[in-house]
Structures are given as C-alpha cells and as structure tokens.
Structure 1
Amino acid sequence: MLTTPSDRSNEVTRDLLSAVRLARVVARWASVLAQTDPGETTVSAEDAQHLRHRVFCDTLLPEGRRCLLRADHDGPCTRRPARF
C-alpha cells in the first residue's frame, strides 16, 4: 500500500499526540516522588531526538512548582487541571 506525504503527516501527528498523552500520565504518576519535575517532560521521535515537544506548561508558579496544564493551554496557569 502506497502512502502519500499527507497520510504520513497525519500518522506522525497521531503518534505525537499519543506520546504526549502517555508522557502526561507517566509524569503525573512519577510526580509523587519529590525529586521529579513534570514540567521538564518532553517527547520526541526516535529518529529526531533533537526536536523535543514539551508536554506541560513551563511556567513557574509563585510557590516554586510548575503549572500542570498542557504546554499550549488557554487561561491562567494552575497546579490543578480542570475536571469536566
């Protein structure tokens, strides 16, 4: 089966979104350990490790911890993600 560049681009986008979701789950779970900082979590393709995609917002909050919302969130930064 032949794939077009558009198909490949869609596949890469889906893979990136899946990787970001998995990284968020792992980073939040690991945040119970005092020495971890979920704000530093990034994902990259295996063959493009120089191109990193940040998982969480990098804003440092007044209490010295980082925002736990996604990297491109709207609205104010917070340590607690909104529950819907």
Structure 2
Amino acid sequence: MSRRYVVHLPVVANDLSAAQRLARVIGRWMLVLPMADPGETTVSEEDQQFLRHRVFCDLLMPGGRRCLLRDGHDGDCSRRLRR
C-alpha cells in the first residue's frame, strides 16, 4: 500500500459555513487531478486545527464513487450539485 500525504491549504473565510462552501468548490475543481481525494476535506479554525468539520458527505455510492454533496445533506447522495 502506498503512503498518503495531506496538503493543507490555508484560506481566509468569514465563518465556518463560508469556509465549508469554499472548500467544496476547491474540492470539486480538484477532481480533474487523479490523485485528489476531496471527499475527506475538512475545515478548522486556524487556532483550533484539532477540531475539524467535514465538508462533503463522502458516503460510498454504488460503483465505488463517493457522494460530493455537502455533509449532512437532505435526500439521496449524488456526484453532482443539485440546482
């Protein structure tokens, strides 16, 4: 099994909700990179990095893909944004 590394990319957001939205946008854009695993994305306050908040639902769906909707979403899981 190969080793995994995590890249921490600090950003500035006004609150937790804004940070989670920004992280979802970044995570979805990263899907063009085969080595990206956005489903495990979390956000935290700069001075409380031990307290992480999930960004994506990340439940395993049929076919082995993961849900890319926000954590705690209503309804069925999906790989696409609901409009």
User: Which TM-score bucket, shorter chain as reference?
Assistant: 0.7 to 0.9
For the pair 1:47 / 2:44, whether they are aligned, the reply is: no
Q: What is the Cα deviation at residue 62 of structure 1?
A: 1.5
Deviations 1:26-62 (A, max 9, x none): 1111111111111111000011111110000020111
1: CA distance between counterparts of 2:66 and 2:38?
8
Larger radius of gyration: 1
Count of aligned residue pairs for this structure pair: 70
1: CA distance between counterparts of 2:48 and 2:72?
21
Which 5+ residue runs of structure 2 have no aligned equivalent?
1-13
* Runs of 4+ more than 4 Å apart: none
- RMSD of Structure 2 on Structure 1 (CA): 1.1
